[in-house]
Amino acid sequence: MKRLLLVLFEMFGAGVADADPVVLERGQVWTFADAPADTARIIIGDVEPFGPVGPDGLTAVSVSIIGLPPTGYGQVIHHLPFSEAALRPALLELESSGASLAPDYTGGYTTWKNAVDAGEAGIFTLTPAEVITHISGIIGNAH
């Protein structure tokens, strides 16, 4: 029976991952594609609706990124908000659950959330590696 379901999923264009995706939850620690270091990890924070509610609405996933190579902004990015659609494909392996977020996650999240409520902030639709590259470029150009 399970094999028949898998065949039907494939026939109608739904892969196995589409059938039962891992639910993103606070405290999950993930490896991610094109990470700037083998030690880099994403810790999932808040997962919430973003924009219009309904089938076309987006989901925002706030994260901390730890274990980065030493740079102008340190080895931790305390808070970054991504669209789930941009983040999910970059997540490679769920390593653990129940982890604490970076120390300043709450402050960054609160600042972002207040800006969202005022219509002054959004979410990243780039991959985490692309965002890290952009941040590194901005910080490098500031010095």
Alpha carbon distance 50, 122 (integer Å): 9
Tens-place pLDDT, residues 35-68: 999 999 999 999 999 987 666 679 999 999 999 9
Please give the residue that has the higher pLDDT: either 100 or 12. 100
Alpha carbon distance 54, 27 (integer Å): 26
28-32, 38-42, 133-137: which has the minimum mean pLDDT?
133-137
Look up residue 9 and give its two tokens: 């999923």
CA distances from 73 to 16, 45, 66, 77, 96 (A): 39, 20, 12, 8, 26
User: Average of pLDDT values for 127-138?
Assistant: 87
Q: Please determine, for residue 32, whether its predicted confidence score (pLDDT) is greater than 80.
A: yes
User: Average of pLDDT values for 4-25?
Assistant: 53
Tens-place pLDDT, residues 59-114: 999 999 999 988 666 789 999 999 999 999 999 999 999 999 999 999 999 999 99
Look up residue 29 and give its two tokens: 């620690």
Alpha carbon distance 132, 63 (integer Å): 13
Residue spans per domain, the chain: 23-142
Q: Please determine, for residue 19, whether its predicted confidence score (pLDDT) is greater than 70.
A: no
pTM of the model: 0.81
pLDDT tier, 15 (very low <50, low <70, confident <90, very high otherwise): very low
